[in-house]
Structure 1
Amino acid sequence: MANTNLAAEPRSETGKGVARKLRAAGRIPAVVYGHNRAAESITVDARELERLLGRISAASTVVELGLGGGTARTLIREIQRHPVRRHILHVDFQELVAGEKVTVNVPLVFVGTAIGVREQGGIFEEVMREISISVDPASIPNHVDVDISKLTIGHPLHVRDLQLPAGVTVLDDADATVCSVAGSKAAASEETTAASPAEPEVIRQKKAEE
């Protein structure tokens, strides 16, 4: 499980006008919510947040928010960005409670070289880059390793085939394809040529015409 820290400050005023002033001052309006607390309006430093997002996986990293002399263990649930300029407009943080499972998306890391690529000349195709899981906050994995070394052409790997840490429940369709190895176009062309021999030249017709 990946952890990081971020300083925050409470705010009492809300509204679009207040949010614009905060962003102009280098602060990002945000909110913290959870089952055991009322939603609380806060602000975070814009540059610090951008640097943080540049080095973590926001969907699966626990953010320790320093707030009012204490800390709150949270997950970033939503990041609103300007549709054109792409700067951050607002962030939602969900406070985590020990023993209460959360739903997160974690990246897949493909390990090894598939037999279908190494020995059969195929092309590796990555269908899914992450999976959705239900897990206790204390056991959120940084990623899930996917061993593709035994993957051959025409035999894809499915969600049900993934090896997951204890306590992790996958929410994606068990039959969904994670990755596969497809035959190369060159190999397919060679197979087609071999399966379809050239037609013999018609000699008798030519002689009859002569």
Structure 2
Amino acid sequence: MSSASLSASVRAETGKGAARKIRQAGSIPAVIYGHGREPQSLTINARDTDKLLKSIAISSTVIDLSIDGKSARTLIREVQRHPFKRTITHIDFQELVAGETVSVQIPIVYVGVPEGVRLEGGLLDQIMHQLHIEVDPSSIPNHIDVDVSALKIGNTLHVSDLTLPAGIKVLDEPGNTVCIVQVPKVAVEPIVEGAAEPEVIRAKPKADEK
């Protein structure tokens, strides 16, 4: 499980005007919610937050959020950004509660080189790059390893074929394709029937040759 820490402060003012002032002051408006907890408005430092988000897997990293000195274990559920500047405009945090599972998107890491690629010149087509799972917050994996070394050309790996650690429930459909080893495509130049013959440009005869 990956974890990180971030500081926050409770804010009393809400609304678009208050949010605008917060951003102008170098902070980001945020909210924390969870089971049995009333949503609480927060502010977090923009520079610290931007630096943190660039170094973590946002959807699966547990954030130890220090709210005016009180700690809360959270997951980031939504990051809103400016449509053009791409700066962060708002963040939603979900507080984690002991004994309650959470749903998260976990990156898939493909392990090995398929036999169909090594020996038959095939291509590995990675259809899925994340797996949607339900798990206890204390057991959130950093990633899901998928061994593809035994796959031959034409072999397909489905969600139902994956071997996962105990305690993880997959929320994706069992029949969804994870990856497939395909025959390499060969580019063929199309032949157009009835194509015009190329024009032959001849030298003009000299005056004494007419």
Normalising by the smaller structure, the TM-score range is 0.7 to 0.9
Query: Which amino acid in structure 1 is aligned with residue 168 of structure 2?
Result: V
1:68 shift after superposition: 2.1
- Residue 76 of structure 1: aligned partner: 76
What per-residue deviation string (whole Å, max 9, x for no partner) do you get for residues 94-114 of structure 1?
Answer: 000111011100000001000
1:37 shift after superposition: 1.3
CA distance in 2, matches of 1:136, 1:13: 34
CA distance in 1, matches of 2:118, 2:109: 19
RMSD: 1.1
What per-residue deviation string (whole Å, max 9, x for no partner) do you get for residues 108-163 of structure 1?
Answer: 00010000100010011010000100111111111000001001111111101111
CA distance in 2, matches of 1:75, 1:185: 43
Deviant stretches of 4+, over 2 Å: none
- Residue 26 of structure 1: aligned partner: 26
Pairing 1:176-191 to 2, within 5 Å after superposition: 176-186=176-186
- Residue 206 of structure 1: aligned partner: none
1:33 shift after superposition: 0.2
- Residue 126 of structure 2: aligned partner: 126
1:9 shift after superposition: 0.7
CA distance in 2, matches of 1:156, 1:178: 8
What per-residue deviation string (whole Å, max 9, x for no partner) do you get for residues 14-35 of structure 1?
Answer: 0101111110111000000011
Structure 2 residue 115 is matched with structure 1 residue 115: yes
User: What secondary structure is seen at the aligned counterpart in 1 of 2:64?
Assistant: strand
CA distance in 2, matches of 1:98, 1:152: 44
CA distance in 2, matches of 1:155, 1:114: 10
- Residue 5 of structure 2: aligned partner: 5
CA distance in 1, matches of 2:64, 2:19: 23
Structure 2 residue 156 is matched with structure 1 residue 136: no
1:65 shift after superposition: 0.2
Number of paired residues? 188
Structure number with the higher helix fraction is: 1
Identity fraction in percent: 55
CA distance in 2, matches of 1:21, 1:152: 58
CA distance in 2, matches of 1:107, 1:114: 20
- Residue 145 of structure 2: aligned partner: 145
CA distance in 1, matches of 2:43, 2:179: 41
What per-residue deviation string (whole Å, max 9, x for no partner) do you get for residues 11-64 of structure 1?
Answer: 000010111111011100000001121111001100111111101000000000
Consecutive unaligned residues in structure 2, runs of 5 or more: 189-210
CA distance in 2, matches of 1:116, 1:103: 34
User: What secondary structure is seen at the aligned counterpart in 1 of 2:91?
Assistant: strand
1:83 shift after superposition: 1.0
Consecutive unaligned residues in structure 1, runs of 5 or more: 190-210
What per-residue deviation string (whole Å, max 9, x for no partner) do you get for residues 145-198 of structure 1?
Answer: 000100111111110111111100000010100011110124x98xxxxxxxxx
TM-score, structure 1 as length reference: 0.87
Query: Which amino acid in structure 1 is aligned with residue 132 of structure 2?
Result: S
